[in-house]
Amino acid sequence: MRMLGDLSGGVLNVAACPDEALLRLVSPAGWEALTGRPVVLERELPNYLAKKPLAVLCQRWRESTASLLAQSGIPVLLWGNELPPGLPPGSVALPEFEAEEILPRLEQLSSPQDFAGKTVLVTAGPTVEDIDPVRFLTNRSSGKMGVAVAWAFAVRGARVLLVHGPMTAEVSKLADLERIPVRSAQQMHDAVREHWHEAQVAVLCAAVADFRPDHYVPQKIKKIEGEGMVLHLERTPDILAELGALPNHPFLVGFAAETDDVEINALNKLRKKHCDLLCANDIRKPGSGFAGDTNQITIYAPDGMVRALPMLSKQGAAYCIVDEVARRMN
């Protein structure tokens, strides 16, 4: 079972086994909210371990607990300076961490490292097309979906290159991502061109502007009393289509945010842009919009697979996408 399939679904198969000190850091109710499961008291640990959780979070423990954990084979996240000997492989000691780091740490600990040694290129966020020094064209993308995808690959051991426009989404400081910030579609294109050959997987989540002003005006454009203004736009490069046309392109995942004919448009993009997977969502559906934390995605593949995911957190949806990529690549 996935440790953090989707928090709202409450499928976090992890035990928090807090002692007094950890309970002072986070209350029992806080632990339950963080892990989505009842707190496991030390005396309940043997029964809990028999259910094979994916990871256990502890602080100090008595000898008896240490030997129980050692025998269980289940990795332990220890809040402390060093690991006692004999703990299962993958266990980590963290001298200091914040309450909000606990969940991602547990997640890293309990995820398979099936993307270790692979590089994944992710694009995220909007692009910004400047008109003059004060005005620009952009869109409502927050970058959250791309950041969720980047994190989902990173916890599974991948080196992740995140090429992103100016976005509001926060990137976890725990994720070991190489960030390449850009502004315009052209800059995003150039960054992807520079790095695509390093990647075995490319997931293009960015909401790239389709049009940009055909020229940039270096001084602020003045308004003229009573007159409107005509802005001439030209197409931006289609990064995904360009990657798809390359003979040895990485495993390619595209996105399509649609307002109508979702399936027809998704299948068209899948074919035209030569994607290995295409993730589509209907942005008119409540909960599937731009800045929210949830998304309902349907994944399409060239072999005819149509996998409709339920409404999930963006992170939950990102895990499902990574699972699908893993299933097809490994």
Which positions lie near ligand C5P, rule CB under 6 A?
A: 123, 185, 204-206, 208, 210, 236, 238-240, 254-256, 269
CA distance 197 to 183: 22
C-alpha torsion sign, points 200, 201, 207, 211: positive
CB of 228 to ligand C5P, least distance (A): 28
175: three-class secondary structure by DSSP: coil
Of 118, 159, 139, which is closest to residue 250 (Cα–Cα)?
Answer: 118
Residue length, the chain? 330
Q: What share of the chain is helix, strand, coil (3-state, %, to 5)?
A: 30, 20, 45
Query: Is residue 180 within a helix (H) or strand (E), and if so which, with residue range?
Result: strand 177-181
Whether 139 is a known active-site residue: answer: yes
Minimum separation from the CB atom of position 314 to ligand C5P (A): 15
CB 100 within 8 A of CB 33: no
Place of tokens 């707190």: 39
Least distance CB 263 / ligand C5P (angstroms): 14
Compare residues 55 and 205 and give the one whose CB is closer to ligand C5P: 205
Residue closer to ligand C5P, measured from CB, 18 or 244: 244
* Tokens representing residue 168 in the block: 């509001």
How far apart are alpha carbons 275 and 94 in whole angstroms? 40
Instruction: Write down the catalytic residue from 13, 47, 81, 139.
Output: 139
Q: Return the number of the residue (16 or 240) whose C-beta is nearest ligand C5P.
A: 240
Q: Which residues are catalytic?
A: 139
